[in-house]
Amino acid sequence: MWCHLGDLIYGLPKNGFSQKSVSYKTSIKTLKLGATTYGYFNPDEYKYITDKIPSNSVFWLEPGDILIQRGNSIDYVGVSAIYTGKSKEFIYPDLMMKIKVVNNFSVELMHKFLLSPQIRNYFRSQAKGVQKTMPKINQGVVNMALIPLPPFREQNEIINRINTLISIVDNLEKQVMDRKEQSEMLMKSVLNEAFEEKTLIFQRSAGVL
């Protein structure tokens, strides 16, 4: 059956907290937008802020949280990533939203659905803003995203099939790249041989040899 994303998460999507960063080390690390731009969590993309964030704040991230970019270029707005860092190691910025998936729904499967062309196109179509270079989506848009709800016992099977297909595509891409490199090397070899042959002919005609 189909559900709205809001029916499959605890509470509402929560915007993060943004404050001016500092160039020196503090006790609070906040993620940069680049930490989730490509659909996976990059723990090296962070900065320091001086604000004091209580230990019970909703801004602290926990493993399994999903972060959705609520503001970015039209190509990246709505991109999501699963937080795989340590508990309360980072907070997240205002240009991201955090959702917590209900217990009977796979976090990994939700993430794959959120990265699907259908959901990505939906987020792009709903992105608004006065700055065309930084359109945004809001909590309502995220809540209304349509998500297929398979039986819990089938979710792992779906994940396995998706991962298998992704692996096949990755292997095909690698083969294409390998063949492209081989083709380029062959072309260079042919051109070098042709150049050397032309040089030899020129030298002979000029009486050098």
Q: What is the chain's pLDDT, residue by residue, as a tens digit (209 residues)?
A: 899 999 999 999 999 998 889 999 999 999 999 999 999 999 999 999 999 999 999 999 999 999 999 999 999 999 999 999 999 999 999 999 999 999 989 999 999 999 999 999 999 999 998 667 899 999 999 999 999 999 888 998 888 888 888 888 888 888 888 888 888 887 777 677 767 766 776 666 766 55
Spell out the alpha helix ranges (H) of the chain. 107-114, 117-126, 139-143, 152-205
8 A C-beta contact, residue 68 and residue 12: no
User: What span, in angstroms and rounded, lies between the C-alpha atoms of 35 and 145?
Assistant: 23
What is residue 48's predicted lDDT score, i.e. its pLDDT?
Answer: 96
Please choose, from the candidates 5, 130, 19, the residue with its C-alpha nearest in 3D space to the C-alpha of residue 80.
5
- Confirm or reject CATH 3.90.220.20 for domain 2-149, answering yes or no: yes
Domain spans of the chain, in order of start: 2-149, 152-209
What is residue 207's predicted lDDT score, i.e. its pLDDT?
Answer: 65
Distance of CA 30 to the CA centre of its chain: 18
Partners of 66 in beta bridges: 82, 99
What is residue 131's predicted lDDT score, i.e. its pLDDT?
Answer: 67
User: What span, in angstroms and rounded, lies between the C-alpha atoms of 77 and 168?
Assistant: 27
Q: Which residue has the tokens 């939203």?
A: 97
What is residue 172's predicted lDDT score, i.e. its pLDDT?
Answer: 86
- The SS3 call for residue 85 is coil
What is residue 122's predicted lDDT score, i.e. its pLDDT?
Answer: 97
- The SS3 call for residue 178 is helix
* Burial zone of 180 (CB within 10 Å; 0-12 exposed, 13-18 middle, 19+ buried): exposed
What is residue 69's predicted lDDT score, i.e. its pLDDT?
Answer: 97
Residue type (1 letter), 164: T
